[in-house]
Amino acid sequence: MGFPGSPSIGTRVDDDDDDDDGLDGDQEESYGAEQQRPLSLPTTQQEVLATFPARDFQPSPWTTNEHWQTIWGARVVQDIILQKVAPKTLPQGWQDVYDRRERWETPDGDFFHVDYLLYDTRPPAPSSAPRPLAIVLHGLESTSWALLPRSMAKAYVRRGFDVLALNFRGCCGVDNLKPYSYHLGFTDDLAYVLRRLHAEDPRRRVYLTGFSLGGNVILKCLGELGEEAARLGVEGAAVACVPFDAVRSSSKIDTGFNRWVYAGNFLKTLKVKAAQKWEKHRELLDGEELGEGPYDLERGLACSRIGDFDDEVIAKLHNFEGKEDYYTQSCSKQYLPRIRIPALVVNARDDPFINEKGLPTPEEVGEGTVRLVYHKHGGHCGFLTGQEEKGGLEEERWLPTELARFLEHVDVPFRALEGGDESDGVSRFVTGDSQSTFAAK
C-alpha cells in the first residue's frame, strides 16, 4: 500500500510529567506550518489539534500507584467479588450493554462480531444524515462488553455518536474459523469495516477510538491508509495506553510483579485458545499452509512470559520470523508520520505494560497529524482520579470522557454545518459534562 505525501500541518505534544526530558506539561509546543486541509471544515487539522483543551490527569494522593491504577481501574478485584456474591450485577454478554449485534463475514472466509449502541433507537427520518459513528476497539483478550469498552461506548453516545464496538476475531464468545485470529498489528478487519461502512453510506462520518492493542491497531491502520482514511469518511481518532514499542515493552511486562500478575492473567486465556485451535485445526497445522509450519503446542502451553508465547505461537500462526519480527512489523510508532487525520494519543508514563523509553517523540511523529499527551500517572488504562464513586456512573470515568471530548471537539464543526436542533431529542446517557448535545433526528 502506498503512502501519499502531505504538507506538514503540525504535531502538538503535551506532557504533565516533571521529568527533565524537554517536555513541559504547562507549555505546548507546535511543530510544522499551518496548512488548510481540503475538507468541508471551517478549521484546519492543526487548529483542531491545537484548540482541544486537554485536561491534566490529577489523581488523589492515595491513587497514584501504577498497579493500583491498573488493577483497580480494570475492576479486577471488584468483579471477582461481585462474581461470587452478586453475579447478576455484571454484564454477562453483549446484550447487557448494546442494542444489537451483527456477524460480519470477512473476505478471507472468517468472521467477527460488531455490537451497536445507538444514541437514539428511534428509526431515523429517510432524509436525515447518518449520525457520526465512533468505532471502539478493545485490548488484548478483552471484549466489547468489558468495563473500559462499555464505558467508552456510553461516553460517546452521550456526546451524540452512535457506537460500533468491534470484537476482534475469537473475542466475541465464539471461536473464529481460521487458525489465526488477531494480533498487535492485524489491521485487515478494521480496514474492511471502514470500506464497508463507506460503501453503505458515503455521508457517514467515522471516528476511531481504542486502547492498548486496539489503539495500536488504529494508529497502524491510519498510517497504512494515509490520505485514503479521509476519503473513507474517517475524521478523527482518540486512543490511549498504546504499546508503541513492543520490543522494549515485552521485557517490562514479563518481569517481576508484572509477569506474575499481568502476563499470567493474559496467558490463561491465550493458552486455552491455543489448545482449542490446535485441536480444531490439527490437519491444517500439520501441513504447509502456514509457511514455517505448526507451532509446538506443548512449548506454547509451557510459556510463562508473553514474549515467549508470542515467539512460540503468535508469530508462527501469522507468518512472522519470530517475536522480534512480529513486534517490529506490528508496532504503530513507525506509521505515525503517515497519519493524515487528527489523532489524540493519551499515555501514562508509569504504565506497567509499556516501557517509557519507547514512547514516540515529536520528531518521530514528523508530519503526522498526531497530538501526544503523556501523564505522570494513570497506569495501564486506569486513570482513576479517586473521585469516581461520587458520580456512581462508570461512563463518567476520566479516560473514556477525555477521549470522547476530543472526538466531539473534532465533530463540532460538522454539526454546526448540519444545523442540528438540540430540542429534537437527547441521548439515553447524557450528563452535565458534555460539551454539546447533538440532537436525535
pLDDT tens for each residue of 131-168: 999 999 999 999 998 889 999 999 999 999 999 999 99
Structure confidence at residue 294 (pLDDT):
60
Establish if 433 belongs to a structural domain: no
Structure confidence at residue 286 (pLDDT):
57
Work out the average pLDDT over 359-368.
Answer: 94
Mind listing the pLDDT tens digit for each residue in 259-293?
999 999 999 999 999 999 888 887 665 555 544 44
Q: List the grid coordinates of 260.
A: 506474575
Instruction: Write the CATH number for 233.
Output: 3.40.50.1820
Spatial separation of the C-alpha atoms in residues 89 and 160, rounded to whole Å: 27
3-state secondary structure of 142: coil
Spatial separation of the C-alpha atoms in residues 307 and 322, rounded to whole Å: 10
Angle (nearest 5°) at CA 237 between 32 and 11: 15
Instruction: Please check the confidence at residue 11 and state whether its pLDDT lies above 50.
Output: no
- Of 157, 165, 232, 61, nearest in space to 407 by CA: 157
Spatial separation of the C-alpha atoms in residues 421 and 410, rounded to whole Å: 19
- Of 378, 413, 420, nearest in space to 56 by CA: 378
Work out the average pLDDT over 357-379.
Answer: 96
pLDDT confidence band for 318 (50 / 70 / 90): very high
More confident residue, 244 or 25: 244
Residue whose C-alpha cell is 483543551: 53
Spatial separation of the C-alpha atoms in residues 14 and 27, rounded to whole Å: 7
Establish if 440 belongs to a structural domain: no
Establish if 436 belongs to a structural domain: no
Whether residue 310 sits in one domain with residue 171: no
Whether residue 163 sits in one domain with residue 52: yes
Q: How far apart are the first and last CA of the chain?
A: 39
Whether residue 220 sits in one domain with residue 272: no
Domain boundary among 282, 306, 330: 330
Whether residue 371 sits in one domain with residue 317: no
Whether residue 128 sits in one domain with residue 18: yes
Whether residue 113 sits in one domain with residue 22: yes
Q: Does the pTM of the predicted model rise above 0.75?
A: yes
- Of 131, 139, 201, nearest in space to 159 by CA: 131
Work out the average pLDDT over 184-201.
Answer: 97
Instruction: Please check the confidence at residue 391 and state whether its pLDDT lies above 70.
Output: no
Whether residue 119 sits in one domain with residue 48: yes
Angle (nearest 5°) at CA 11 between 195 and 373: 90
Work out the average pLDDT over 245-249.
Answer: 93
Instruction: Please check the confidence at residue 192 and state whether its pLDDT lies above 70.
Output: yes
Work out the average pLDDT over 18-42.
Answer: 37
Establish if 427 belongs to a structural domain: no
Spatial separation of the C-alpha atoms in residues 404 and 437, rounded to whole Å: 13
Work out the average pLDDT over 201-208.
Answer: 95
Strand partners, 343: 237, 370
Work out the average pLDDT over 33-46.
Answer: 46
Whether residue 153 sits in one domain with residue 276: no
Instruction: Please check the confidence at residue 295 and state whether its pLDDT lies above 60.
Output: yes
Whether residue 326 sits in one domain with residue 207: no
| Amino acid letter, 338 | R
More confident residue, 324 or 17: 324
Whether residue 209 sits in one domain with residue 91: yes
Spatial separation of the C-alpha atoms in residues 122 and 332, rounded to whole Å: 39
Spatial separation of the C-alpha atoms in residues 187 and 208, rounded to whole Å: 13
pLDDT confidence band for 25 (50 / 70 / 90): very low
Structure confidence at residue 93 (pLDDT):
67
Establish if 93 belongs to a structural domain: yes
pLDDT confidence band for 33 (50 / 70 / 90): very low
| Amino acid letter, 66 | E
Strand segments (E) across 185-314: 206-211, 234-240
Work out the average pLDDT over 345-350.
Answer: 98
Establish if 171 belongs to a structural domain: yes
Domain boundary among 330, 354, 372: 330
pLDDT confidence band for 34 (50 / 70 / 90): very low
Instruction: Please check the confidence at residue 204 and state whether its pLDDT lies above 70.
Output: yes
- Of 184, 171, 164, nearest in space to 112 by CA: 171
Structure confidence at residue 86 (pLDDT):
54
pLDDT confidence band for 7 (50 / 70 / 90): very low
Establish if 278 belongs to a structural domain: yes
Spatial separation of the C-alpha atoms in residues 246 and 158, rounded to whole Å: 34
Angle (nearest 5°) at CA 377 between 244 and 335: 15
Instruction: Please check the confidence at residue 1 and state whether its pLDDT lies above 60.
Output: no
What is the span of the domain harbouring residue 320?
Answer: 257-330
Contacts of 434 (CB under 8 A, 6+ apart): 158, 159, 408
Instruction: Please check the confidence at residue 29 and state whether its pLDDT lies above 50.
Output: no
Whether residue 173 sits in one domain with residue 92: yes
The total of structural domains in the chain comes to 2
Instruction: Please check the confidence at residue 437 and state whether its pLDDT lies above 70.
Output: no
Establish if 423 belongs to a structural domain: no
Work out the average pLDDT over 190-200.
Answer: 98
Domain boundary among 330, 357, 382: 330
Contacts of 425 (CB under 8 A, 6+ apart): 120, 122, 439, 440, 441
Instruction: Please check the confidence at residue 240 and state whether its pLDDT lies above 80.
Output: yes
Spatial separation of the C-alpha atoms in residues 251 and 248, rounded to whole Å: 6
Share of the chain above pLDDT 90, in %: 62
Contacts of 287 (CB under 8 A, 6+ apart): none
Spatial separation of the C-alpha atoms in residues 347 and 22, rounded to whole Å: 17
Mind listing the pLDDT tens digit for each residue in 67-96?
999 998 776 555 555 455 556 655 666 778
Whether residue 123 sits in one domain with residue 235: yes
Spatial separation of the C-alpha atoms in residues 324 and 247, rounded to whole Å: 7
pLDDT confidence band for 15 (50 / 70 / 90): low
Considering the chain, what is the average pLDDT of its residues?
A: 82
Structure confidence at residue 32 (pLDDT):
30
Work out the average pLDDT over 186-204.
Answer: 97
